[in-house]
Amino acid sequence: MGMISKLIGIVFAAAGFILLFFGMNDTSGLSFVYSLLGLITMSFGFALLTAGKPKEEKPPPPTVTEIRCNDCDFKEIRDFKKGDYVLKPVEDACPKCQTGMTIEGVYIIREEPKETYNV
Amino acid sequence: MQLGADNEFSWIINIAFFAFIMIFSLYGAKFQIWQYLKQIEIGLHEMKRMFVESRQTAIETFKEYGLSEEVVAKELDQFMDYFTIMPVDLDPAGILKRLDHLLDVRRDRFQEFVAELAPESGESMNQNLENTLEVTQVLGLIYRVVRHFYILGKKTGSQIMIMQIHMQMPDLLRLAKAYFDAIGAFSEGKPIGDGVGPLVITKFAREYGATPESYNHEISREVGYYMVEVEGRTVYALRATGPGGTVGKPGFGVKNLMEKYGNKISRIITVDAALKFEGETLGRVAEGTGAAIGDPGPEKHAMEQAATEYGIGIEAIVVKEDEAAAVGIMDKKILDAVPEVIERIKTVIQKRTKPGESIILAGIGNTIGIGL
Ligand SMILES: [Zn+2]
């Protein structure tokens, strides 16, 4: 979709430019009409060229719950469940060493902003 | 080579050219105002959508706790424009006391309202519902204020009114978006970026053996503390009580602790989230002097007063966040900043206090989703 509309935009812009040029060199009474038509076609073409992609609403990143074992280095990350909170002791025992586990964090990972400012 | 030169149509172009100049010099400003109004309208529609959707979320959250949707919607709409009148400042003597009293009364009223509207929910969930209600109110307020100026501007044709609101529109939309994105966090009890203060406190206290059972409740309204020994010093680690969403009254907590253990305390350390500048990295840790707390005044005053009275140092360690991160679900980067904050607290304790002394460590922020 993006590529095609850009191509059409280039075609329109070029056609408009030729029309405008033709109209300016024409000495008949229709020169004004040609020029105007050329300008309109050209601006239409440029509008197509510079049009950005329609903004799509991205779904927010999922909230995850990070669980860690109290003793060893076992770590589990799963989807957030209602009732989870940070520092809540988890009912399940650690699969590695069978001691208790705690929710160490409930968080989301936001996307890095695309624009960077070189200042 | 000239447009329409030397032919019978050239006068048309001349007239068109002059007409163009005339129209734009006479009506250019009108055209621009019309454009401004259109842009405000687009933003206003966006604000309305956010308000309506958050109201719906609030209704759906409330109706899980006992009452029917119709009753909840009716009561909620009635409460939507609940306001607080700021105390008169012509007679400034005792204004903080009056403001504090008003805020207490307001808080009571909110708690009463939530308890009535959600009879089957527990204390912790009540606090989350309170927060949900407040977010919806903020969105409603932004929408109503902008709509007021939009309609007034249209009615009076006042350019300055329209331009003012047009200029503030991007910022207002950003703020509204931040709150709108946060409503999910509040209704489901997820921790938010502002909760980094209390989180640091509990993680720090746990390193030195504190448990949920060793937490001393209600040193002030919805605020308690752990008492831990850190390298020969006694640290009173204070925070609001979670995991329900509350900021409590930590300023008065500090004041009460000072009154209780005052002669031994030699330093107050506050930990909070602070607004970052654009361009600064999210989750950056910074230090400074003073009480890091963003309340309307009484809490901060209580802390400063306590520190001044006893002549002890008061310092702040903050985690930099933007509005969206502070009221939205906690970002990984903020969670990752916690160990660094704890390291800095240890450095402060080692460098600027002596063994045998006591320290107040106060974590300021909303405790939603952050357990003891
Ligand atoms: Zn383990």
The residues in B 170-229 lying below 8 A from A, measured between CB atoms, are 181, 184, 188-191, 195, 199, 202-203, 206
Q: Could you state, in order of their start, the residue ranges of all structural domains in chain B?
A: 26-188, 193-363
A102 touches chain B (CB under 8 A): no
Question: Is B334 an interface residue toward A (CB < 8 Å)?
Answer: yes
pLDDT class for A55, splitting at 50, 70, 90?
A: low
User: Could you read off the pLDDT of B170-187 as tens digits, one per residue?
Assistant: 999 999 998 998 888 888
Higher model confidence: residue B236 or residue B294?
B236
State the smallest CA–CA distance between residue A10 and chain B in angstroms.
25
How does the average pLDDT of chain B come out, rounded? Answer: 90
pLDDT digits (tens, 9 = 90+) for A70-118: 888 888 899 998 888 999 998 888 888 888 889 999 999 888 777 778 7
CA-nearest residue to B333 within chain A is: A109
| CB within 8 Å: B279 and A119 | yes
Q: How many CB pairs under 8 A join A and B?
A: 85
Q: Please tell me which of the candidates B3, B188, B199 has its beta carbon nearest to residue A31.
A: B3
Which pLDDT does position B140 carry in this prediction? 93
Is 70 exceeded by the pLDDT of residue B3?
no
Burial of B319 (0-12, 13-18, 19+ CB in 10 A): buried
Cα–Cα distance measured from residue B87 to residue B145, given in angstroms and rounded to the nearest whole number: 22
**Could A80 and B331 be called an inter-chain contact, meaning their C-beta atoms sit closer than 8 Å?**
no
Res. B44 pLDDT band, cuts 50 70 90: very high
pLDDT at B126: 87
Q: Please state the φ and ψ torsions of residue B294, each to the nearest 5 degrees.
A: -110, 50
pLDDT at A1: 58
Is A109 near chain B, with CB under 8 Å?
A: yes
Q: Given a cut of 90, is residue B273 above it in pLDDT? A: yes
pLDDT at B46 over 60: yes
pLDDT digits (tens, 9 = 90+) for B232-248: 999 999 999 978 888 99
Please list, in sequence order, all residues whose beta carbon lies within 8 angstroms of the beta carbon of residue A6, skipping any fewer than 6 positions away.
Answer: A48, A49
Annotation: CATH topology of B193-363: Rossmann fold (3.40.50)
Q: Is the distance from CB of A88 to CB of B243 less than 8 angstroms?
A: yes
Compute the distance between CA of residue B188 and CA of residue A102 in angstroms, rounded to an integer.
Answer: 20
Cβ atoms within 10 Å, residue B183: 25
Site of tokens 């909303």: B366
Q: Averaged over B190-212, what is the pLDDT?
A: 92
Q: CB–CB of B330 and A110 under 8 A?
A: no
The full set of domain ranges for chain A reads 3-50, 63-108
State the pLDDT at residue B294.
Answer: 85
ipTM of the complex: 0.79
B243 with A86: Cβ contact below 8 A: yes
pLDDT, residue B16, reads 85
Nearest CB partner across the interface for B1, out of A24, A32, A86: A24
Count of CB atoms within 10 A of residue B288's CB?
11
> Which residue from B minimizes the CA distance to A81?
B188
B4 at A interface, C-beta within 8 A: yes
List A76's β-bridge partners, or say none.
Answer: A67
The total of other beta-carbon atoms located within 10 Å of residue A89's CB is 11
Q: Is the pLDDT of residue B341 over 90?
A: yes
Average pLDDT estimate for B87-109: 89
Chain A residues closer than 8 Å to B330 by CB? 105-108
Report the predicted TM-score, pTM, of the whole model to 2 decimal places: 0.83
Mean pLDDT over B39-43 rounds to 93
Task: Answer whether residue B1 shows pLDDT above 60.
Answer: no
The more confidently predicted of residues A27 and B237 is B237
Residues B299-340 pLDDT 10s: 999 999 999 999 999 999 999 999 889 989 999 999 999 999
| Contact status of B326 with chain A (Cβ, < 8 Å) | no
How far does the centroid of ligand 1 lie from the alpha carbon of residue B209, in Å? 19
Average pLDDT estimate for A31-38:
81
Write out B132-163 in H/E/C secondary structure: HHHHHHHHHHHHHHHHHHHHHHHHHCCHHHHH
